[in-house]
Amino acid sequence: MGNDFRSRMPVTEGRVLVTGGSGFIGRRLVAALADAGTEVTVADLKPFPGSAEAGSPGPSVQVLGDLCDPEIADQAVAPGTDTIIHLAARTSVLESVKDPQTTYRNNVALTAGLLELARQRRVRTFLFASTNAVVGNVGGAVITERAPLRPLTPYGATKASSEMLINCYAASYGVRGVSLRFSNVYGPGMQHKDSFIPRLMRAARDGTGVKVRGDGTMIRDVIQVDEANLPGSPEEWEWAAEGMNVVLDAIPTVPAVHLCFGNYGGQTIQKGSWGRLIDYLNKLHVNHIVMENAHRPPEELAVFRELRPEIGFGLGVVDIKQTVVESADAIARAIEHADKVLGVGRVKYIHPDCGFWMLKRGIADGKIRALVLGRDLYEGRN
């Protein structure tokens, strides 16, 4: 896709080192960088999975081994490295409580060693995968960058320590440092992980229970690893559909799935094939698919004729990426076009594309009025 997220990934002037690049988050990042033409080194205990022949761009160089070993770190931060993206870490909170010394070694000592190599070899940028665990328990409050550091576990403390080291190297030596505090990351490819969401999905799949720690009132933020589930890892569509159907079958009203084509700016950020997407959608136990169409090429609708005839459509006919208010006639024409392409009666709902909150109130009100008037015009209401 011409405007794919990966094709818009900025290319740096030199090599990018991704530590932990063979992991759950790392392999997606590496593929995106490599696809954009960036020279990437992966340093990990495990080889990078996949290959370019299989449609998965990989690193230019792989360094296998423990980055706490000075020789391995020296190979990884080779001369010419422009950016270090540091994902490698011991991430289990429970393991950090059991073995804080190893967690310190793999998190703080490792980060300190990389920062020193970055200083010596004039690496310009150091991006660090931190965690919201550095702020501890904030109750129901919103976590922001200004939240004080109050970690409650060795894991959170090691990440907070690493953040402070990065700040020191930025202030003292000019290494440009950024710490990204991830919440709980989930998505395809995490079946092996022991965090709560994969445990919950395995329990749903297998018909078993899942242990909840505490009294069940905890609130956690989550973030999807690709921003758009299936197209980020199309080879896992069958596993994704099984998990989705567990949820869909439990819906007491009208089950539907939202198909997101892009982000709020209108760019396509997914990668995959129409064939796998249609296979995935056809396997879902849904009444209809909620689609964003207003900012998409009209001819794309034809692909969805391959869906099972009993699957209907919720059609996006209001473009939230434009501030111009649609006319009732334009809304009616969009519905008419969909009927011609998909078949009369398959459009069950019409709605705005998602992201309506970005519009000013007056514009949003005008677009909703146009939506109603366009529907009435199409249906011949007075």
Task: Write out the catalytic residue numbers.
Answer: 155
Burial class of 53 by CB neighbour count within 10 A (0 to 12, 13 to 18, 19+): exposed
**Alpha-carbon distance 163 to 130, whole Å?**
7
Write phi, then psi, for 262 (nearest 5 degrees): -170, -160
Burial class of 320 by CB neighbour count within 10 A (0 to 12, 13 to 18, 19+): buried
Residues 195-202: contacts with CB under 8 Å, at least 24 apart: 196/220, 197/222, 201/243, 201/246
**Alpha-carbon distance 57 to 235, whole Å?**
15
Report yes or no: 192 and 204 within 8 Å, Cβ to Cβ. Answer: no
The pair of three-digit structure tokens given for residue 268, joined into one six-digit string: 């396509």
The pair of three-digit structure tokens given for residue 322, joined into one six-digit string: 């434009």
Question: Which residues, 6 or more positions from 17, have their beta carbon under 8 angstroms from its beta carbon?
Answer: 40, 41, 42, 43, 76, 77, 78, 81, 83, 84, 85
Question: Which residues, 6 or more positions from 204, have their beta carbon under 8 angstroms from its beta carbon?
Answer: 243, 246, 247
Alpha helix segments (H runs only) across 6-149 = 26-35, 70-76, 93-98, 100-104, 110-120
**Alpha-carbon distance 380 to 382, whole Å?**
7
Pairing verdict, β 347-352 and 81-86: unpaired
Write phi, then psi, for 316 (nearest 5 degrees): -75, 115
AA letter at 91: T
**Alpha-carbon distance 91 to 185, whole Å?**
12
Cβ neighbours of 140 (radius 10 Å): 6
